[in-house]
Structure 1
Amino acid sequence: MLVAAAVCPSPPLLVPDVAAGAAPELDTTRTACAEALGVLAVSRPEVLVVVGPARPGERPGHHARGTPGSFEGFGVPTRVRLGAPEGPPPEGSLPAALAVGAWLLERAHWSSAPVEGLAVGTGLAAGRCMETGRGLAGRARRVALLVMGDGSACRSRKAPRYLDERAAPFDAAAARALGTADTEGLAALDEALARELGAAGRAPWQVLAGAAEGARLNGRLLHEDAPYGVGYFVAAWS
């Protein structure tokens, strides 16, 4: 059963080594992420699953505890690991969003429960996302999720996909649902519109919606911003 969830944005720029001189611009976001992870710790989960988008070229699917990741593709040698491995370290490498999640956990000195990862294809249908979430919630008596994902990438003229007038309403709907633990609101996010707006968080958020069905969790929106024209949200469910 899902007992808690933290929602965090997934840009590698959250990692100061990647952001370099621009790192202070996301200090408030990092602080909010740390607060959300604190909610996970006090929930005493038996397992924590980091859920994030598998972008084009990245492998969707399960990533075992201890899977390594790095930010070498972003020009820095920083390496991370998805919790402590059980036995020999797994082969493979984490998708970027899960690597950011692993970095957040290492920064928080996470030791409350074993950690696993799940990368979700950004095009996965809402129904499949919900079904996947239900499966995660049934993994153990007490399950927590760290859900990585961004909103629209069209909030300004300098955004990755330029300005789109539909982006702000889409992000506002996502923020309301994330801030109130509204599973129906998350499930209703439009897949086609999310794809057009570059909202990579849509599928992971709908996995969360499936996992939280019947859990009666309360939500808090801890942070909302759109730096660089991309919607970032931090929320805690417990």
Structure 2
Amino acid sequence: MRVAVVPRTPLLLPAFDPRALPELEPVRGAAREAALSLVRPGVETVTVVTASADAAATDESAGGTLGSYGHDVHAGGADPVLSRDQTVGAWLLDDAGWTGRRRYVAADDEVAVAEADAVLALVDGTTCRTDRAPRPFDERGEPFDELVADALAAADLTVLAALDEELADELGAGGVTTLGVLARAATTLPRTAERRADLLHHSAPFGVGYWVAAWDLG
């Protein structure tokens, strides 16, 4: 299973002026690199996973737009049913040149995640890291994000499967449920010596924690 963990913010897309958001350029570059890591021989289907409540369960025929964000951006297929998060994932796959099959699922579909040969997981960290953040500053935010970053860097499935989802929700990192599902699915895979895990980026622009990671679990 190959895995890419990327933020779910539409600000990753170049339609949002990079000159006005220079803090996000390293995040954008890392997310594109992570998505590109999924485009490899042997991968037949990329499964896009998000914990958003409006996530559609569909395939490569689906697409989405970001018109509600003031940008006429379309990604994916012709049927415009994808949620905002899924549209971000679709755009990253389009950008990476992926033309194969796609499967879009919600994070609670643990069976679909376990069966996937490649996963694009859309997850944000805490939203309370600084006074600029969407939520009031909370000193627990940074340690939580650091815990997850260290686990992503090592593909520590035990830590990720046991994340405190109630705390994550308090800190504004509701999408972290996706990491728990992903970790539980990955524990069912045979352990191989070829496993690799790379934390490509970790930062908190605007007080929001972002992780980008790429795994090859064999």
Query: Do both proteins adopt the same fold according to a TM-score greater than 0.5, normalized to the shorter chain?
Result: yes
Coordinate RMSD, CA, aligned: 1.9
The Cα of 1:45 is off from its aligned counterpart by: 1.3
1:7 pairs, out of 2, 5, 14, with: 5
Q: Secondary structure at the match of 1:207?
A: helix
2:73 pairs, out of 74, 78, 86, with: 78
Alpha carbons 1:6, 1:145 under 8 Å: kept: yes
One-letter code aligned to 2:183: A
Distance 1:201 1:178, change over 3 A: farther
Alpha carbons 1:52, 1:147 under 8 Å: kept: yes
| Aligned equivalent of 2:32 | 34
One-letter code aligned to 1:165: E
Q: Secondary structure at the match of 1:41?
A: coil
Alpha carbons 1:64, 1:116 under 8 Å: kept: yes
Partners of 1:23 and 1:66 in 2: how far apart?
Answer: 32
One-letter code aligned to 1:116: R
Alpha carbons 2:52, 2:175 under 8 Å: kept: no
1:181 aligns with 2:155: yes
Q: Secondary structure at the match of 2:51?
A: strand
Identity %: 40
One-letter code aligned to 1:230: V
Partners of 2:112 and 2:172 in 1: how far apart?
Answer: 26
Q: How does 1:102-113 map to 2 (within 5 A)?
A: 102-111=90-99, 113=100
Partners of 2:31 and 2:210 in 1: how far apart?
Answer: 11
Partners of 2:51 and 2:112 in 1: how far apart?
Answer: 17
Alpha carbons 1:4, 1:43 under 8 Å: kept: no
Partners of 2:98 and 2:21 in 1: how far apart?
Answer: 22
Alpha carbons 1:16, 1:23 under 8 Å: kept: no
1:206 pairs, out of 180, 190, 198, with: 180
Runs of 4+ in structure 1 deviating by more than 4 angstroms, as ranges, are none
1:116 aligns with 2:111: no
Q: Secondary structure at the match of 1:99?
A: helix
One-letter code aligned to 1:188: A
Alpha carbons 1:18, 1:74 under 8 Å: kept: no
Distance 1:43 1:26, change over 3 A: farther
Contiguous gaps of at least 5 residues in structure 2: none
Q: How does 1:64-213 map to 2 (within 5 A)?
A: 64-81=59-76, 89-90=78-79, 92-111=80-99, 113-120=100-107, 129=108, 132-138=109-115, 143-213=117-187
Contiguous gaps of at least 5 residues in structure 1: 121-128
| Aligned equivalent of 2:14 | 16
